[in-house]
């Protein structure tokens, strides 16, 4: 398998709810995991935003990122995703500009409109307005981060008084992405100028359609179609495929059980919300994933297997068009020591096949 010069590997970190612990202790584990992943050579640590439950309880990823940067100054930092309809766009842009000024690594900010009705209800935001609020919030953030005075008039958001952002945005790039919840989202994110951020839960032919739809829109507008295309992939590696799949069968069900609980799938909260009715169908089979016997197809789509099997899957996704891989083993059902073992095995046995320099900078710094 040949090395590919533009492949990047990152890892996902989150509070582990494998066993009851004080939240402060959970966040300390995240700090330790980020230091560990940085020393292995990963480009960035990625986080999630969720509220009011045990399902990835990280309500302020930007605060977390700023704190991690003090421990790992050169580590890139990412979020998949920040839910735009819950934010005031000016405050959001200010915080992004501030975090970017306080950090050295690249910021990767995935943006989405969110799916959990319980979170929308808590923030008193109407899910029927989610798509429009996402668009308007992003447009304001995009304008604000240019550093020039601006005003804005939208359906929900209006800035009549001219605003110029402080802190003044610096030249260090912030990479934004648009989360893909369905293949149709590829076109929408293309129209907004946001590269797609995908999950390895869609079959390959649908992932291919997402990227094709995005590129078609960009081409029609005479805009670049290259860039960084991240995909988040669940990762369990062992000496043999069967040993790795046994890890998946052991630890993935708890993740899906918490996910089903967080999204209230039994109540089907999306059935009366036109913008979200597609999610009723998508989430209908979520509870089935709590049964280990039903996980085979999902594991086939992700990084579950021996190093050779995982490397082949990297190759397939790369050929589809993805060049930035976010390893996700930091699931609610996975103990911290297992998470670290998976990230270490990937760094040792898979990543160097695609990037011969992987981890060498960190090793040299340690010497």
Assigned domain for 188 exists: yes
pLDDT-based confidence at 362, cuts 50/70/90? low
State the average pLDDT over residues 2-15.
83
CA pair distance 131, 123, nearest whole angstrom:
16
CA pair distance 237, 210, nearest whole angstrom:
28
First vs last Cα of the chain: how many Å apart? 30
Q: pLDDT, tens digit, for every residue of 248-283?
A: 999 999 999 999 999 999 999 999 999 898 888 888
pLDDT-based confidence at 307, cuts 50/70/90? very high
Report the number of distinct structural domains present in the chain.
1
Examine the pLDDT at 363 and tell me if it is beyond 60.
no
State the average pLDDT over residues 239-247.
98
The two structure tokens encoding residue 318? 């790369």
CA pair distance 195, 175, nearest whole angstrom:
9
CA pair distance 259, 265, nearest whole angstrom:
9
Assigned domain for 1 exists: no
Return the pLDDT at 332.
86
Residues 7 and 325: beta-carbon distance below 8 Å: yes
Instruction: Output the CA torsion sign for 99, 101, 104, 107.
Output: positive
Please, what is the average pLDDT of the chain? 94
H or E element at residue 25: helix 23-40
Assigned domain for 72 exists: yes
CA pair distance 177, 184, nearest whole angstrom:
15
pLDDT-based confidence at 20, cuts 50/70/90? confident
**Residue 153: which domain range?**
8-366
Return the pLDDT at 333.
81
Question: What are the angstrom distances between the C-alpha of 211 and each of 185, 208, 227, 365?
Answer: 10, 5, 12, 37
Percent of the chain with pLDDT over 70: 97
Choose among 332, 364, 344, 360: nearest CA to 29: 332
Percent of the chain with pLDDT over 90: 88
Choose among 362, 310, 357, 323: nearest CA to 1: 310
Q: Where are the alpha helices (DSSP H) in 145-276?
A: 185-192, 204-220, 241-262
Q: pLDDT, tens digit, for every residue of 57-109?
A: 999 999 999 999 999 999 999 999 999 999 999 999 999 999 999 999 999 99
Residues 232 and 199: beta-carbon distance below 8 Å: yes
Residue 125, judged by CB atoms within 10 A of its CB (0-12, 13-18, 19+), counts as middle
Return the pLDDT at 283.
86
CA angle (259, 263, 268) in 5-degree steps: 130
Q: What is the DSSP letter of 73?
A: T
Assigned domain for 221 exists: yes
Return the pLDDT at 1.
41
State the average pLDDT over residues 122-129.
96
Assigned domain for 113 exists: yes
Helix (H, G, I), strand (E, B) or coil at 83: strand
DSSP state letters, 279-342: HHHHTTTTGGGGSGGG-HHHHHHTEEE-HHHHHHHHHHHHHHT--EEEEE---TTS-HHHHHHH
pLDDT-based confidence at 3, cuts 50/70/90? very low
Residues 333 and 254: beta-carbon distance below 8 Å: yes
Return the pLDDT at 2.
46
DSSP state letters, 191-207: HHT--EEEETTS-HHHH
> Which pTM was predicted?
0.95
Return the pLDDT at 282.
82
Return the pLDDT at 210.
95
Question: What are the angstrom distances between the C-alpha of 131 and each of 24, 143, 171?
Answer: 34, 19, 30
Domain containing residue 68: CATH number: 3.20.20.30
Residues 15 and 331: beta-carbon distance below 8 Å: no
State the average pLDDT over residues 179-201.
92
Assigned domain for 2 exists: no
Examine the pLDDT at 364 and tell me if it is beyond 80.
no
Q: Residue 301: CB partners within 8 Å, gap ≥ 6? A: 200, 201, 202, 203, 204
């Amino acid at each position: 398998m040949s090395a590919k010069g533009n492949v990047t590997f990152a890892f996902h970190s989150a509070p582990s709810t494998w066993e009851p612990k004080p939240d402060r202790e959970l966040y300390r584990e995240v700090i330790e995991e980020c230091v560990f992943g940085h020393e292995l050579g990963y480009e960035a640590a990625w986080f999630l935003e969720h509220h009011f439950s045990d399902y990835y309880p990280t309500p302020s990823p930007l605060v977390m990122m700023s704190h991690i940067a003090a421990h790992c100054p050169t580590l890139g930092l990412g979020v998949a995703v920040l839910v735009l309809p819950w934010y005031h766009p000016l405050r959001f842009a200010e915080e992004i500009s501030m975090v970017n000024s306080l950090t050295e690594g690249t910021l990767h900010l995935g943006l989405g409109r969110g799916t959990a009705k319980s979170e929308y209800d808590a923030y008193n935001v109407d899910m029927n307005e989610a798509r429009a609020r996402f668009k308007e919030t992003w447009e304001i953030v995009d304008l604000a981060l240019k550093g020039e005075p601006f005003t804005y008039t939208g359906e929900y958001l209006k800035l009549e008084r001219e605003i110029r952002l402080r802190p003044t945005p610096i030249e260090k790039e912030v990479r934004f992405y648009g989360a893909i919840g369905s293949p149709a989202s590829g076109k929408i994110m293309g129209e907004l100028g946001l590269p797609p951020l995908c999950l390895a839960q869609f079959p390959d032919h649908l992932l291919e359609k997402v990227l094709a739809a995005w590129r078609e829109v960009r081409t029609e507008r005479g805009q670049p179609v290259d860039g960084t295309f991240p995909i988040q992939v669940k990762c369990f590696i062992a000496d043999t495929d069967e040993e790795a799949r046994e890890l998946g069968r052991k630890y993935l069900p708890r993740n899906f059980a918490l996910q089903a609980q967080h999204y209230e799938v039994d109540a089907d909260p999306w059935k009366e919300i036109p913008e979200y009715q597609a999610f009723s169908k998508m989430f209908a089979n979520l509870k089935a994933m709590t049964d280990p016997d039903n996980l085979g197809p999902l594991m086939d789509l992700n990084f579950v297997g021996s190093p050779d099997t995982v490397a082949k899957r990297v190759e397939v996704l790369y050929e589809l068009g993805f060049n930035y891989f976010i390893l996700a083993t930091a699931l609610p059902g996975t103990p911290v020591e297992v998470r670290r073992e998976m990230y270490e095995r990937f760094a040792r046995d898979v990543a160097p096949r695609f990037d011969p320099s992987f981890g060498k900078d960190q090793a040299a710094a340690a010497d």
